[in-house]
Structure 1
Amino acid sequence: MRGASKLTSLAAALLALVLVVLTSCAQIPRSGPVGKSTDESAGKPNNAPVFFPVAPRSGAGPESVIEDFYLAGSGYEDDYAVARQYLTQASSVKWKPDQRVLVFRSARVVGTAVENVFNYELDLAYSVDADGIATQLPEGTKENIPATLTKVDGEWRIAEIPDGTAIPEETFKVIYGAYPIYFYDPTYTYAVPDVRWFIKKKTVKAMTSALLGGPAPYLKGAVVSAFPSGMKLARESVPVVSGAAQVDLSAKDLVEASNEDRLRMQTQLALTFRSQPDVINVELRANQDLVRVEDNGSVLPPVRDKDVPARQIAVSNNDLVRLENNKLGPLPDIKSVSALSPRLPAESPVSQTAAFLNAGRTTLYSIVPGQPARALTTRSGLSRPSFGRYDWVWTAGPGANGATEVLAYRPAGIAEGANVPGVTLTPSWLAGRKVKEFRISREGTRALVISELNGKTSVQVTGIIRTGDGTPRDLTVPITLQTAHEPDQGVWVNDTTVAVMKGSASESVTPELVSLTSAAPQPLAPWPGLTALSAGNGPAEIFGQSAEGIFQRLGNGWSPQLKGAVDPSFAG
């Protein structure tokens, strides 16, 4: 029996040999005999890759059998038929490959003290659960998969193995794709993406099952679904017939639902299937019978990827100004706040309310048209204010006992001298952390949080749980995004992407685009002395600030815009 086996350079070489790229177009026919359908091929992109793995080799040792088994796990065709050949008959029946995917940077087989028991030792990049929810993991994260082998007709076979597959990171990027499924904000006004990872040839069914299963943990309580809890598919497939995805649901739940709820279900599915080019419309069915959905105009479609106005708030000559069409002007009906030395301003996307910090970042002020500015809180090291669509302005900083607190205030509509409604949240996952950035997403259900603990920075997205009237109540345990650097600031670019960077007045700075739909950050062009970022609608509307002025991203570079203003920020 051999000792520690080959590293995955051999695995990568084997995968390169067995990868066959299909060059034919895989679109579903849009016409044909009634009843003809294709099931899992909806949305299959052109040139969708298929792996034809190697079957067991005669005389292979235990380590090779384990390695080859996991290589064969990239061949998902026919329910992983080749991979099952490496298992004993009983293990083949019991093994459930779709329970999770472990994506590794490197792997090796190592023996244990127990005879015929080995560990497949992985350096994990990320893991994906049965619902397509991916967890990105820092380099150096290890996991051991135990495997027990026995001989069957003189050949080594795997008798015990945990459910799931393990594949190299390069392979994962080829055969899996990131797909947003959609939920609603609690008012059903906005569509909120929940990005999942699925095999590219199995997306329609996988998306539907994930949607029925509810939002990812970090969105639970922050978003809602039109589908009641417990609703399931009536059959384990979602056929696509002449461009129509036929979603057959449990009859009782669907028939008893109101027309309004059914319309929202249909809309939620249609949004989710947007990435599938061969799905033109959605049919709801109960026991395969078409269920009529009337669109009488009572339900408005939700807004997806909400835009912000094409203007920014900034500071110039020690006062708040508006930056629009590359020109500076006053904020309408806003009194001068020059005596307060404003910095890092924010503007509400739903009213003319503004907020800002003082130069020392120790006091948060708000100001509404026709009133003087008022102090909302004073404490050390406040994060830049950020408004959400409910007109609450947010910041974060240490409380009286030093614990990290997230603060929200609603100054709009409050008479001069009256108390401003406020909320203080102390999520346990922020304990001990210094918050550098807290930015609300455009639809108001999520927040970008950049924080530091013991010199280590985390970039995270949390869900915002609210009461019925929109008052913030709690923050969910967040997901963590991987970045190449240690950023200290970030902004939302669209509903699935943020831009982050570590500002420096003296060095070249490389901002990064970090997307929920990508496994790796995208570096932008470096620029000397960038100290601030802002973003409008999409990656083309990213702005940076240095001592030389304000610049806009242009292709693979930066284009100068104007001088004389600092701390620009789009509404939000």
Structure 2
Amino acid sequence: MNGPAPRQAPLVAFMLVLLVLVLPGCARIPTSGPVGKSSEGSAGNVSAPVFLPAAPQQGAAPEAIIDYFYRAGSGYEDDYAVARQYLTQASSVSWRPDQRALVYRDARVVPTRTENVYNYELDVAYMVDADGIATQSPEGTVERIPVTVAQVDGEWRISDIPDGTAIPEETFKVIYGAYPIYFYDPTFTYAVPDVRWFIKNKTVKAMTSALLAGPAPYLRGAVASAFPSGIKLARESVPVVSGAAQVDLTAKELMATSAEDRLRMQMQLTLTFRSQPDVVNVELRANQDLVRVEDDGTVLPPVQNKSVPSRQIAISDRELVRYENNRISPLPDMQPVSSLNPRYPAESPVSQAAAFLNAGRTTLYSILPGQPARALTTRSTLTRPSFDLHDWVWTAGPGASGASEVAAFRPAGTAAGVTVPTVSLKPAWLAGRAVKEFRMSREGVRALVISEQNGQTRVQITGVIRGRDGTPRELTTPVTLAASGQPDQGVWVTDTTVAVMKGSKAANVTAELLSLTSGEPQPLAPWPGLVALSAGNGADDIYGQSAEGIFQRLGNGWSPQISGPLDPAFPG
């Protein structure tokens, strides 16, 4: 196909990796030509629609044949039987519709200077590949699909066409759904969702194939899989029999794994199939023979959607405090920090370490019980700190050359006067961008990054590649989430959802939820003067701060909590 290459982004896992990614709001559907009928049907999903597109019309011109062919691509039943009627016999055999789906806002057939060759010209929103990975296209991306036609028994048919389908955006929203497949963090302790997009009634087989193919690009190197490299499905189906998904794998690779690995494979598949109502359990098979999976209790299921404690760290009277149950109390065993004018605190989820910035956001401090605060770095500006499960505290800001750097420090376990372990990362995708927010995910594998360039912000999710000891080594090329405004701060809400906003002391502020599993940003109720966000466990555990105090999200509004504390933040 011709045209500009789309950039990576989720709906991720467009995630689209979206990840991911993201279904824009309104779209115009072309109105010329037959649309066909639709009915409800399913194969394991009662809500999966079935489109019944129109067959070729006698005497139709080449332009109509091409246009109707792509409309028929929404009719996936019987291996796109109707769409294949628009092709010559040879093309019908060779065409592979499942290789990718181009999702478009508008389309038209354009003649070329070559006889019987046309371009199907698309205003592309995003592309979904064979593994369900969605890639967002920049606004205004035009893709031209070359199509060659020939006459067969006096009727025009398509003789040469690239693999894949093209689907109007509104139709895509109906027949495709977002489904997390799951990988592990490198310690096999936590489950990490990798959101993919599949046709709604073909999900069990599609999920399995995607899982065996490995994680989306933004998670490669950051996550682990129990499935060994090279393992494949032994047959091109995953039947569900009496609630059991029978996953038939190539025997050589499967039998070479350990009992522990096979149990982790089964757990990985079980998590992945949780969205499928007809799947109760998972059976591993080797060339159709059932493989016994033993569980002696030594391998624990991975933690999904890791929760955080109910407490928050905050600033009150220029000291670090604990905010919980709408009350404040001193942070245990911490020395005074009022002389440092602290703001934007963070607390480790695995130790008693804490960190904060000064009011000017130029210096990052860490503090441990019984020790004075120590300066970790000084920059012209820094993002508020964020801890991960390996006890590294993260921030971002300009380095010595002025270019954006992401820095991580590990103060816990470091005696006073001893240099704190430090890592500085300079990912190429941050070149020319100013980082506004850097927040680690709760399982420690991903980070939310909000950056700005020329007044335009970008909300992205990157993967964190670590060494064997957990030391950060690299940030992966991220996926991009589509926000409706220009947010400058954000927090994790669940393992697939973040809340973002652009704070303002003088205006109504509308925060919104961005989800890897949903196509549209979800606005929260506007509230005057919101300047900070924090989030605990789920969308009902979101807090906002204004000059009037702290507010908790309640239904479609905000409920006043307490006045006085500043910058509350849950551990992490």
Normalised by the length of structure 2, the TM-score is 0.94
Note if 1:447 corresponds to 2:447.
Answer: yes
Runs of 4+ in 1 over 4 A off after TM superposition: none
Contact 1:386 1:439 in 2 (8 A): yes
Q: Which residue of 2 aligns with 1:509?
A: 509
Identity %: 74
Q: Which amino acid aligns with 2:237?
A: S
Q: Which residue of 2 aligns with 1:253?
A: 253
Cα distance in structure 1, aligned partners of 2:153 and 2:72: 21
Contact 1:136 1:482 in 2 (8 A): no
SS of the residue aligned with 1:218? helix
Q: Which residue of 2 aligns with 1:481?
A: 481
- Structure 1 gaps of 5+ residues are 1-6, 27-40
SS of the residue aligned with 1:564? coil
Cα distance in structure 2, aligned partners of 1:108 and 1:490: 39
Contact 2:246 2:282 in 1 (8 A): yes
Matches within 5 A, 1:54-453: 54-453=54-453
Cα distance in structure 2, aligned partners of 1:540 and 1:8: 36
Offset of residue 459 of structure 1: 0.6
Matches within 5 A, 1:1-12: 8-10=29-31
Q: Which amino acid aligns with 1:9?
A: P
SS of the residue aligned with 2:104? strand
- 1:40-71 residue CA offsets vs partner (Å, 9 max, x unmatched): x33x1x23210000000112112211111111
- 1:13-57 residue CA offsets vs partner (Å, 9 max, x unmatched): 954x512224xxx5xxxxxxxxxxxxxx33x1x232100000001
Cα distance in structure 2, aligned partners of 1:547 and 1:355: 23
Contact 1:67 1:109 in 2 (8 A): yes
Q: Which amino acid aligns with 2:306?
A: K
Cα distance in structure 2, aligned partners of 1:121 and 1:508: 41
Offset of residue 8 of structure 1: 3.5
Cα distance in structure 2, aligned partners of 1:245 and 1:482: 35
Change (3 A) 1:185 1:87: same
SS of the residue aligned with 1:540? coil
Cα distance in structure 1, aligned partners of 2:38 and 2:62: 24
Contact 1:305 1:494 in 2 (8 A): yes
Offset of residue 565 of structure 1: 1.4
Contact 1:365 1:373 in 2 (8 A): yes
Cα distance in structure 1, aligned partners of 2:204 and 2:239: 9
Offset of residue 251 of structure 1: 0.5
Offset of residue 344 of structure 1: 0.8
- 1:97-133 residue CA offsets vs partner (Å, 9 max, x unmatched): 0000111111122222222222111111211000000
SS of the residue aligned with 1:303? coil
Cα distance in structure 1, aligned partners of 2:112 and 2:226: 50
Cα distance in structure 1, aligned partners of 2:240 and 2:73: 27
Q: Which amino acid aligns with 1:186?
A: P
Q: Which residue of 2 aligns with 1:31?
A: none
Q: Which residue of 2 aligns with 1:18?
A: 37
Contact 1:198 1:206 in 2 (8 A): yes
Cα distance in structure 1, aligned partners of 2:562 and 2:66: 61
Contact 2:535 2:541 in 1 (8 A): yes
What is the RMSD computed on CA atoms of the aligned residues?
1.2
Cα distance in structure 2, aligned partners of 1:457 and 1:517: 21
SS of the residue aligned with 1:365? strand
Cα distance in structure 2, aligned partners of 1:371 and 1:14: 74
SS of the residue aligned with 2:157? strand
SS of the residue aligned with 2:173? helix
SS of the residue aligned with 2:30? helix
Offset of residue 519 of structure 1: 2.0
- 1:320-360 residue CA offsets vs partner (Å, 9 max, x unmatched): 11110011111111111111011111111111111011111
Cα distance in structure 2, aligned partners of 1:14 and 1:399: 58
Q: Which residue of 2 aligns with 1:38?
A: none
Q: Which amino acid aligns with 2:545?
A: Q
- 1:362-395 residue CA offsets vs partner (Å, 9 max, x unmatched): 0000001110100000011111100000000000
- 1:111-165 residue CA offsets vs partner (Å, 9 max, x unmatched): 2222222211111121100000011234322211111112211211111111100
Cα distance in structure 2, aligned partners of 1:48 and 1:239: 18
Offset of residue 219 of structure 1: 0.3
Cα distance in structure 1, aligned partners of 2:508 and 2:38: 41
Cα distance in structure 2, aligned partners of 1:327 and 1:14: 64
- Structure 2 gaps of 5+ residues are 1-27
Count of residue pairs the alignment pairs up: 545
Contact 1:465 1:474 in 2 (8 A): yes
SS of the residue aligned with 1:304? coil
Cα distance in structure 1, aligned partners of 2:542 and 2:472: 29
Contact 1:138 1:482 in 2 (8 A): no
Cα distance in structure 1, aligned partners of 2:284 and 2:203: 18
Contact 2:363 2:378 in 1 (8 A): yes
Offset of residue 499 of structure 1: 0.5
Offset of residue 480 of structure 1: 0.8
- 1:296-336 residue CA offsets vs partner (Å, 9 max, x unmatched): 01101110000000011111111211110011111111111
Q: Which amino acid aligns with 1:428?
A: A
Contact 2:355 2:385 in 1 (8 A): yes
Cα distance in structure 2, aligned partners of 1:106 and 1:512: 28
**RCO greater where, 1 or 2, for CA within 8 Å and sep 6 or more?**
2
Q: Which amino acid aligns with 1:59?
A: G
Contact 1:70 1:166 in 2 (8 A): yes
Cα distance in structure 2, aligned partners of 1:235 and 1:65: 35
Note if 1:492 corresponds to 2:492.
Answer: yes
Offset of residue 9 of structure 1: 3.4
Contact 2:29 2:170 in 1 (8 A): no
Cα distance in structure 2, aligned partners of 1:524 and 1:135: 26
